[in-house]
Amino acid sequence: MSGAKTQQQPVLALHGDWREAVAVNSAALPWAASPAPGVERRLLERLGGEVARATSVVRYAPGSQFAQHSHGGGEELLVLKGTLADEQGTYPAGTYLRNPPGSAHAPGSREGCTLLVKLQQMHPDDRQRVVIDTRSAAWHPGLVKGLEVLPLHGFGSEQVALVRWAPGTQFQAHSHPGGEEIFVIEGVFQDEHGIYPAGSWLRNPPGSVHRPWSEAGCTIWVKTGHLPATTGPLG
């Protein structure tokens, strides 16, 4: 990760229109500084200033910590590497965490960590705090042979899960009336529009159709049903 230079300038509008299909390899993006020394971000989508609706890959250097802050629109994260901690617990790699709207904490990392983070994107009535260690949680058979699913959260039409694809698994063509987001945790995910290695983030707009598969096998984080079928920017 030392090859990419840190980018200092904040991005106020990035991939903010959910009508766009977006595919980004986060590993190719520069690291952008945050207000906390030692905490950097690779920006995937963002609307706003420092308090923004945002999706990012976040890297904590060993010993770094964010000051106490609140999340008016909630915070959702997946620990990809290392260990994150706050006043309520310690979250090793594989932990899925949801801090509901209005929650506050001062997160840090003694050893360093890398996270997938979504900010200001929860329904105001979604008040459940969720902490799941996906390393020990139960997986369930998927809709086709070779797929396993680990449900993480659901509220209204929104559904979040991890999905594991055995090598050579194919899924039928299908649509997403409420949109879909994917982050490739490991392996290589594919569809008719492209090939997506680990670190890739995809956003497929409401009504989009695709036929995914994985030749090598992969594990992905998936969120569906959360994008409204109306026009306009996220916000």
Q: Which domains does the chain have, with CATH numbers?
A: 6-133 (2.60.120.10), 140-224 (2.60.120.10)
Collapsing DSSP to helix, strand or coil, 26 comes out as: helix
Collapsing DSSP to helix, strand or coil, 102 comes out as: coil
pLDDT score at 3:
43
Dist CA 117 CA 75 (whole Å) = 7
Residues of the chain falling short of pLDDT 50 = 1-9, 11, 231-235
Q: Find out whether 146 and 191 touch, Cβ atoms under 8 Å.
A: no
Q: Find out whether 62 and 68 touch, Cβ atoms under 8 Å.
A: no
Residue type, 53: R
pLDDT single digits (tens) 164-198: 999 999 999 999 999 999 999 999 999 999 999 99
Number of helices and strands (H, E) in the chain? 0, 26
Of 217, 218, 201, 220, whose CA–CA distance to 28 is shortest? 201
- Phi/psi at 26 (5° precision): -60, -25
Residue type, 134: T
Exposed / middle / buried, residue 193 (Cβ in 10 Å: 0-12, 13-18, 19+): middle
Residue 136: alpha-carbon gap to chain centroid: 20
Of 86, 111, 113, whose CA–CA distance to 99 is shortest? 86
DSSP lists the bridge partners of residue 39 as 60
Kindly state the percentage of the chain with pLDDT values over 90.
Answer: 82
